Amino acid sequence: MTLGSQVGFVALAAVIGAIAYPMLIFVAIKLNWKQLGRVLGNHRQDARFYRGWSLLGAVLGTLMLTGILILDAYGIKDPWYGLTLIALCMLAFYPIVGFLKQRERQ
């Protein structure tokens, strides 16, 4: 796989994540899936709210695909493969938690 195709895959993952993640959050809030509608009920669900989720989706898509490409290139196998991807995703969730806490105080 060439570098250009890898960059293209990562960009595609970011675009898909930026579109799909806010849609998933919107539907989950409306259907009150796992009580998400109740938990996020005190937040203003405006463009800034969904922009934050869109950014998180793009970051998650990029991190996951980049992590998969790097781990495959180095030949890392389970259990470190899965643990590394979980750690990358956890790092991406810290900013959105701070964003939600900041918006809750306002």
Distance CA 34, CA 68 (A): 29
Query: Which stretches within 2-45 are classed as H helix?
Result: 3-30, 36-39
Residue 106 pLDDT? 67
Read off the pLDDT of residues 1-40 as tens digits, 9 standing for 90 and up: 788 888 999 999 999 999 999 999 999 888 988 888 888 8
**C-beta atoms surrounding 100 within 10 Å:** 15
Read off the pLDDT of residues 59-105 as tens digits, 9 standing for 90 and up: 999 999 999 989 998 998 888 888 999 999 898 888 888 888 887 76
Residue 40 pLDDT? 81
- Report the SS3 class of residue 6: helix
Residue 105 pLDDT? 65
DSSP 8-state class, residue 78: T
Residue 98 pLDDT? 85
Place of tokens 């993640």: 21
For the entire predicted model, the pTM comes to: 0.80
